[in-house]
Structure 1
């Protein structure tokens, strides 16, 4: 019973925090406002979190942990396919996860959220690519005479930009449509998009 109550309280706090984060941004909201919106007292808030930054960090770390579990899971079937450095099934599952917690993730990625959040997602994708490259000698970033670090940055930035635009637009497209766009973007050069 106590655990259910704690879980419910944390859910109310997260909902209230999400609304205020979108509305005011992290710098302009207070613990008192979070508590009032969550219909709890400040003491209850402080029983769970040190302050608003601790709340944001703990919620954010849950998301980062979950995304790592999805994206860094071993997927042996696509290990040696160069187009599958970032496998469609893993990206799709990650996008479905984002869609299921969209209100909070969009608030976090928005202008009043944490500017480092998108960088953390990019780091997970970088870890995925590095892991794929380490498991095969057939996959290399030696295309078009670009150094590996620049080539990897181009790939990562295009994936992150698509995801960020999707979030900013309010996730109008389905996760499947975005995963397909990411797959297509990996296969064509930006110059070809202009033709």
Structure 2
């Protein structure tokens, strides 16, 4: 087993992630091979496999690390789902989608599906953690699934069809629907 805290391991994983990100900007996900990643990272293929099972595991880690870095402390420490928390989640999700889709060539359905699925899952977990502080587990799970889907779908649709330079307007449109649906909207 690889010692994840060994500086050489940390550096090698960083090289692999950077190489993969660079390749995503120039090549479609489906066209990227482990050989491509290894060559760009100046390692051999065997070394890649010591660190990652495949390019899907690498993509999963990159998505998660980037998303977690964007979570505001106020959201992480939230005791209840408020208008402000909802607004922050909408903006954070939209920003993540914009950043990811600008960095990567999203000409592949497979990568878009993987990214969308991973983001929805993480967003759902954040919301569920907030709801679990006050509700029963089953209700928290269902409500967080619906809320995460609404936020993600609206943010994604805004990128594709909306006024992408107006995330504030996105929040003004989406937050009331989410909060009213939860019975939490305050006038």
TM-score by length of 2: 0.58
Residue 20 (structure 2) aligned to one of 13, 22, 30: 13
Q: Alpha-carbon deviations, 1:101-156, whole Å to 9, x = none?
A: 44346739x6130634323333333334433434447xxx8xxxxxx94x665443
- The match for 1:126 is 124
| Counterpart contact for 1:166–1:173, Cα < 8 Å | no
- The match for 1:193 is none
| Counterpart contact for 1:85–1:132, Cα < 8 Å | no
- The match for 1:60 is 63
Counting matched residue pairs gives 169
Which aligned pairs between 1:26-175 and structure 2 lie closer than 5 A? Answer: 26=30, 28-34=31-37, 38=40, 40=42, 42-43=44-45, 46=48, 49-66=52-69, 72-75=75-78, 79=80, 81=82, 84=83, 86-104=85-103, 107=106, 111-113=109-111, 115-136=113-134, 149=142, 153-168=145-160, 172-175=164-167
Query: Gapped runs of 5+ residues in structure 2?
Result: 1-7, 182-187
Indicate the RMSD between aligned Cα atoms, in angstroms: 4.4
Q: Equivalents in 2 of 1:132, 1:10: separation in Å? A: 31
| Counterpart contact for 2:64–2:118, Cα < 8 Å | no
Q: Alpha-carbon deviations, 1:6-33, whole Å to 9, x = none?
A: 546642331113432xx3x43x432234
Query: Gapped runs of 5+ residues in structure 1?
Result: 142-147, 190-195
DSSP 3-state at the match of 1:115: helix
TM-score by length of 1: 0.57
Q: Equivalents in 1 of 2:81, 2:45: separation in Å? A: 54
| Counterpart contact for 2:124–2:148, Cα < 8 Å | yes
